[in-house]
Structure 1
């Protein structure tokens, strides 16, 4: 494996390990929602919203890189087989590999952002369910 691919794998592994604790918290929230106070859930919601806000520039850049890569890939495949014979030059192959690695990282960044969006949706659902359940309970006077 090349150093570049090894570095890519390490970077993806770090991001994956960062997602794992967030997914575990999300799983725990679904199981323990009635044991947690409204304030705790709202605090978690605020943290997830802030993380999504903080990552918005990264996500936007990842979207641009993905669209660019897909457009270039489509343009290359439409050009025909003669293009592939020209791409036998080492520097063109290196550029192609760099582009593919950047695409992989961008897609992974979007996956991490999607996990945050999923966490946000679950917290919003838990809070909404708590509100609905509280509305049905008889009022204690």
Structure 2
């Protein structure tokens, strides 16, 4: 495995671990009082929305890189190359490896962005459920 791919795997593992920690925090906040958990959840929602906003340009670029790689693979551009000698073959293989690593990098960026979107969706769902529960059981809601 190349150094670049190894680094990408490590980065994704770290991001997934962070996602797991944030989801565990969400679950534990659900046990807290409504008033406290509402403030905590809204703060988390703001941070995740900001993170998504901050990374939007990088995500758009990663999406473009991924689509370009897929389009190139579908078109079979590399199959049209005439290999004159071993040096051409090595160059082509190196180029294909570089492009595949770029695609992998883009896919990892998109996966991280999808994880943030999933967290955002969970936060919205938990906040909506809290509001529904508060409306259904007003006696359990904090005085306001």
Q: TM-score, normalised by structure 1?
A: 0.84
Q: SS of 1:37's equivalent?
A: helix
Q: Is the 8 A contact 1:48 1:116 kept in 2?
A: yes
Deviates more, 1:34-43 or 1:23-32: 23-32
**Structure 1 CA distance, aligned partners of 2:137 and 2:27?**
21
Partner of 1:20: 17
The structural deviation recorded for 1:84 is 6.8
Q: Is the 8 A contact 1:41 1:123 kept in 2?
A: yes
Runs of 4+ in 1 over 2 A off after TM superposition: 83-88, 138-141
Q: Is the 8 A contact 2:29 2:37 kept in 1?
A: no
**Structure 1 CA distance, aligned partners of 2:10 and 2:45?**
26
**Structure 2 CA distance, aligned partners of 1:58 and 1:76?**
27
1:105 aligns with 2:102: no
Q: TM-score, normalised by structure 2?
A: 0.82
The structural deviation recorded for 1:31 is 4.3
Q: Unmatched 5+ residue regions in structure 2?
A: none
**Structure 2 CA distance, aligned partners of 1:52 and 1:71?**
26
Deviates more, 1:6-15 or 1:114-123: 6-15
Q: Is the 8 A contact 2:4 2:101 kept in 1?
A: no
How many pairs does the alignment contain? 135
